[in-house]
Structure 1
Amino acid sequence: APQVAADVLDVYQVKPPKTDGYTINDHPHLLNTGISKLFEALRRQVIALDPCVTEEFLKLYVAYKAETNFVDVVPQAKRLRLSLNMRFPEIYDPKGICKDVTNIGRWGNGDVEIGLERLEDLPYVMGLIRQAFEKQMGNG
């Protein structure tokens, strides 16, 4: 049988989600029907980016990580506020929906903020999230 290094195997092992004691139930806005459908669609696509992506529910937001956080989701009453962990000048955003939050105190990591309110915007937003993921993985 072929030999595979332990560190390579570790990348592809299914890891239990880290909870630190927090779950989806600690985010009341995610229990709202409209926002929960949007969040479920978003989380499925973010997790599908790569086998190394993990989801972690924290007190104030939900973190998606590869090596470190590449997108954080802050559930709000009528939208999901996304923070992309990259510098604002590095994002390619032809529609101009990203907001520069450099040096502004916010929950989440990164200088790029996006408000996601509608399922129809998810494909475009996933393109922006992919940029943050690729940047972290050294492909951006």
Structure 2
Amino acid sequence: MADLTLGAPLPGVVTALADVPDEVFATAMIGPGVAVRPSAADAPAGAAGRLDVVAPCAGTLVKVHPHAVALEAAGGVGVLVHLGIDTVGLGGEGFEVLVADGDAVVAGQTLLRWDTTVALAAGLSVLSPLVVIQGGDEVFTLVEPGTVVAPGDPLLRVTA
């Protein structure tokens, strides 16, 4: 397998996984990665809180939830994009799903639309982990915490 680069799934500020307020993510229990604090999290309610969430790489969608997407990339690398913490409890409110299980996607393709104001109003964290959940020998972070990224900007490199 060649190296795989994973791009930012949404615009925001890169945050260390250890700073995610969820032990499963913070301890890398399900895999290594980083988180993105959506830039719209600072915006007032309304259109500024609505974000397109894009595929971090090409692959096949294994499981699509309103708050999370798991995909399998080349070489069997599993990738999870999780939008916010405890957002499963929103029951899909604030999320618009544009894809389905089994869909083949290309890097940068819009998967979901997320109105972060719904999660914020519920008092939930909008920190969004991007995690390698299977495959690959090593995962390298390509940007420092505090870096502002746009959708598709390289965040992680996975090697075989």
Q: Same fold (TM over 0.5)?
A: no
| TM-score normalised to structure 1 length | 0.34
Q: Which has the higher strand share?
A: 2
Is the helix fraction higher in 1 or 2?
Answer: 1
TM-score (norm 2): 0.31
